[in-house]
């Protein structure tokens, strides 16, 4: 399976890559399939069935609304987030869904949107979409949102071929050990090796332009998070903090990137809070590699770009490529899905990716980069996914800020060494996979255990 940097980083909407971005893509893919088979105009009724984690926390994560928007023909990278709420309100009032944004069909929310208390065997994030015509069922398909906005259908799941992209890469790697060996044999940095692989799909100019577009979206997300104030939606009455913190920090002096200070830490916290508050509000952001952990990588990159001397766009490109190498390893050998392995797969993977990206732009050797990622991921092992109320707010927002600082600290520790260390990144990733397999389901994005329950009891 060949994974691109643009698979791990995608422009989308909040609050969840697996529960919002993935379901919206599934709905849009279902409509696309109906269109390609010439069945779209024959549809008279639709039914949405949400299972497992999509059902348990789907309302809090906006899964129901996102699926509907996909059926209306919208895609996560193009939709105007501000239009979701009024269009859903109109549908609920009129019981009319505009399929593909042009074909009105009846859709009664209480009858046709089903949240089912059962799991399908392949993955906890499952949904089935059913289209009926005048004579009965036209088509149905089951989709699995496997984390980071990735979606596979029932046929892919049954075949075991989860990615149709079987591109042969010049420097293919399935482990950190292989990555380090390839870098050494070919005298390449991690970012140089990743760039060579990316050129199989796109020209270097297209790669750089695409990564800078992601960076622009991350900057806009932070800026929006610094402007908006008030209470986050969902009923927990969580107050936004980023705007007020920003005003306070503007009165302080400029911190130094290498010499960690309390001031620098607060700026990192600020950037992460801004992103995750925007995510929790359903705003435009970049999946990195998930929405629940989307604040970590932009916080660390903003920290580097804002407070370093003599930075330019090439640093952004190298950061993304270095981070993506570690993200690929996490996805191939464990998971980036909170519903599958807990928050260690989301925040842990993002923390390791951020550490790798920062290590790359600070001149780390491949061995030091691997060490930084290992330190970052190792100290997120066992992290549960237990969002209060099924919302990506508590503890998710603060957790991103903590992990961003942790990523920077991991890099500082790794750069003080020569890359030699006791536990390898491969061992930590395997441990994350095994820990996730052993973790009780109530700690994996169902809001049936951990903080999600403790807060209610208190």
Question: Mean pLDDT in each 10-residue stretch from start to end of the chain (458 residues)?
Answer: 95 95 97 97 98 92 96 96 96 98 97 95 94 96 94 89 76 98 98 98 98 98 97 95 92 56 86 98 96 98 94 97 98 95 98 98 98 98 94 96 98 95 97 98 92 72
Before 15, cis peptide (omega within 30)?
yes
pLDDT of residue 456: 55
**What is the domain partition of the chain in residue ranges?**
16-159, 176-457
CA distance 364 to 370: 9
Torsional sign, CA 46, 88, 102, 35: negative
The answer to whether 342 and 385 have CB atoms below 8 angstroms apart is yes
The answer to whether 74 and 28 have CB atoms below 8 angstroms apart is yes
The answer to whether 442 and 387 have CB atoms below 8 angstroms apart is no
CA distance 438 to 274: 34
The answer to whether 405 and 295 have CB atoms below 8 angstroms apart is no
pLDDT of residue 302: 97
Which helix (H) or strand (E) is 398 found in, with range? helix 396-415
CA distance 446 to 100: 31
| Alpha helices, H only, 72-203 | 84-94, 109-112, 154-159, 176-186, 190-198
Torsional sign, CA 240, 235, 94, 18: positive
Which helix (H) or strand (E) is 34 found in, with range? helix 22-36
CA distance 146 to 338: 9
pLDDT of residue 163: 57
| Superfamily of structural domain 16-159 | D-3-phosphoglycerate dehydrogenase; domain 3 (3.30.1330.90)
pLDDT of residue 109: 97
CA distance 423 to 403: 20
Global pTM value: 0.92
């Amino acid at each position: 399976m060949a994974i691109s940097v643009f698979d791990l980083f995608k422009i989308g909407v909040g609050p969840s890559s697996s529960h919002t971005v993935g379901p919206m893509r599934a709905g849009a893919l279902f409509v696309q399939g109906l269109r390609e088979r010439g069945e779209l105009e024959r549809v008279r009724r639709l039914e949405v069935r949400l299972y497992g984690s999509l059902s348990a926390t789907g309302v809090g994560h906006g899964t129901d609304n996102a699926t509907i928007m996909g059926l209306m023909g919208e895609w996560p990278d193009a939709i105007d987030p501000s239009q979701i709420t009024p269009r859903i309100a109109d549908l609920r009032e009129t019981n009319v869904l505009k399929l593909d944004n042009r074909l009105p069909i009846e859709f009664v929310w209480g009858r046709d949107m089903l949240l089912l208390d059962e799991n399908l065997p392949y993955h906890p994030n499952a949904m089935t979409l059913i289209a009926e015509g005048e004579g009965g069922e036209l088509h149905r398909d089951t989709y699995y949102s496997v984390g980071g906005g990735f979606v596979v259908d029932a046929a892919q799941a049954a075949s075991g071929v989860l990615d149709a992209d079987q591109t042969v890469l010049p420097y293919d790697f399935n482990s950190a050990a292989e990555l380090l060996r390839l870098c050494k044999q070919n005298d390449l940095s991690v970012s140089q090796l990743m760039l060579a692989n990316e050129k199989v799909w796109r020209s270097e100019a297209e790669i750089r332009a695409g990564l800078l577009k992601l960076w622009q979206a991350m900057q806009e997300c932070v800026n929006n998070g610094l402007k908006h104030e008030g209470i986050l939606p969902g009923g927990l009455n969580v107050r936004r903090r980023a705007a007020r913190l920003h005003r306070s920090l503007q009165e302080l002096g400029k911190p130094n990137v290498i010499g960690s200070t309390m001031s620098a830490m607060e700026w990192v916290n600020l950037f992460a809070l801004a992103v995750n508050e925007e995510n929790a509000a359903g705003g435009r952001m970049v999946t990195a590699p998930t929405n629940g952990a989307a604040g970590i990588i932009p916080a660390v990159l903003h920290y580097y770009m804002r407070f370093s001397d003599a930075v330019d766009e090439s640093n952004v490109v190298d950061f993304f490529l270095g981070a993506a190498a570690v993200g690929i390893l996490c996805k191939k050998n464990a998971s980036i899905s909170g519903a599958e392995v807990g928050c260690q797969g989301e925040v842990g993977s993002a923390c390791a990716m951020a550490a790798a990206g920062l290590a790359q732009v600070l001149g780390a050797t491949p061995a030091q980069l691997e060490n930084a990622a290992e330190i970052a991921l190792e100290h997120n092992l066992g992290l549960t996914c237990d969002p209060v109320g099924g919302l990506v707010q508590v503890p998710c927002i603060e957790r991103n800020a903590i992990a961003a600082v942790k990523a920077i600290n991991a890099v500082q520790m790794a750069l003080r060494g020569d890359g030699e260390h006791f536990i390898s990144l491969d061992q930590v990733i395997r441990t994350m996979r095994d820990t996730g397999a052993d973790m009780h389901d109530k700690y994996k994005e169902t809001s049936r255990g951990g903080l999600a329950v403790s807060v209610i009891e208190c």
